[in-house]
Structure 1
Amino acid sequence: MPHTAHIPSHRKPRRSASKMALRAGVAGGVFSTLAVAGAAGSANAAEPVTETIEMPTLTADLSSVAAAVADATQQTAATYELQAEQDAAVAKAVKQAKHDQADAKKKAEAKKKAEEEAARKAAAEEKARASRSAQRTTLSAPSSSSSSSSGSASATATSQSQTAAAPASGSVGSVISFLKSHVGDAYVMGGTGPNSWDCSGLTQAAFRTVGVDLPRTSQEQSTAGTPVSLSSVQPGDLLYWGGAGSAYHVGVYIGGGQYLDAANPGKGVVIQDLSGYPASGAVRLL
């Protein structure tokens, strides 16, 4: 027995082969896991790059959609605007048609009324002529009168002379001829001729030619003669506008539904239709 046999060996015991294999396997697994994790990390890190590359395509698509929506909105607005314009045009045409129809109806009624009035006046004039003719025949016949009747006739003559002087034969024609000779003269407030007149100045001058002395103003002239209704007015009758005694305008009826007057500064002396400006009343001076 060697003399060193009882001394323990200082050499490290050898590891068994199974332990070494186990450790090698564990190390390999760790390295594999790290490799897989690294690969996965690299893959995950690459994904944002891929999405960043695809973003321009998505933005372009959204721009196209927005442009299409804007075009559609603009087209719809234009369609509504066009429809509104068409509706407004139709409404305006309908309104104008109604207005024209009402105007035509009004003119037709006015024309019919004027024709009826002219016919009525013509009949009244004819009747008045027949009445005057009968009165002349009666007056020309000899008749006896008492003193009382003479006094009554004298009073009547005095009353008539206060209203207007007795006219000469054919006085109506003379008055109308004088008036027509001044058609076209100017209207001037306060005018009494010879080439410019106001309404009462012209009528005063016209009746003066046949010996009828009228007052100067239209208010006074409206009560100077015998009142007559407008339905029985005759040529030569004085027409007035406003109230009797407060008239603001006068003219002379010349027949055929017309009268002659010094109208206003814009018209001057003119012949007008009575239907267009109906008088308020009339007085007979002749």
Structure 2
Amino acid sequence: MSHTAHIPSHRKPRRSAPKTALRAGVAGGVLSTIAVAGAAGPAQAEPVTRTIEMPTITDGLSTAVAASAQATEQVAQDLRTQAQQDEAAASAAKAAKKAKAEAVRKAEAKKKAEAAAKAKAEAALRASRTQARTTLSAPTGGSPASTAVATSSSSSSSSSSSSSSATGSAASVVSFVKAQVGDAYVSGGTGPNSWDCSGLVQAAFRTVGVDLPRVSQAQSTAGTQVSLSNLQPGDILYWGGAGSAYHVAVYVGGGEFVGAQNSSTGVVQRSLSYDPPSGAVRVL
């Protein structure tokens, strides 16, 4: 016997033909299917490479910084705006205060100017009366006209004492003007507590139903011209020329008159010698 006769054979047993054929057919079918699928499938596209930029931590930080800077700028702008508004308000208040002070100053200046003008006008009136009185009483070398004026003035003083009693309407006029003595003088005044010269005369004659003109110039020609030596109570005295008189009063008898003289004296009762008139006119 061979020395290997009892050693089992290590050769693999042969597969049966049917199994081998089946396996071969399956393998072939699989390979053919893969081949056919590979041939029939679409061509593979080139791979697309896309870079995705991933956010980093610095992106969020820069956004926060930008927002903070914008907020800071807005606060600064608001502060600047408020400061401008405050400055504008302060300037407006300062301008208003200055304008008010200027208005007060102008008002005071106007008031002083009006007072000065009034004082000047009164001074001019007194001066004109003084000049007229001086002209009437000054001697002119014995001329007939000056002699007549002097004679008239002297005789009026003597005759006036005998004509001191008023009757009828004249008495009412005299009583009215005497009742106003002490009232104030106001240019353009027509009563009841302040008068100018022609306003007082007009009101006095209105009490007896006589409507005189308003101004002294017209009142000096409202009736019959009479001599100063023949005065009667109720006659209208005037200073200046007839038709251009600058002052009037009422003769009340006894060599006296009542008139609204000026703002310093008001309505007074004075002697004819205090301010001799230029002429007289009789209405009643």
TM-score normalised by the shorter chain: which range applies?
0.3 to 0.5
Which of the two has higher C-alpha Rg? 2
Instruction: State the TM-score, normalized to the length of structure 2.
Output: 0.44
Between Structure 1 and Structure 2, which shows a larger proportion of helix residues? 1
Instruction: State the TM-score, normalized to the length of structure 1.
Output: 0.44
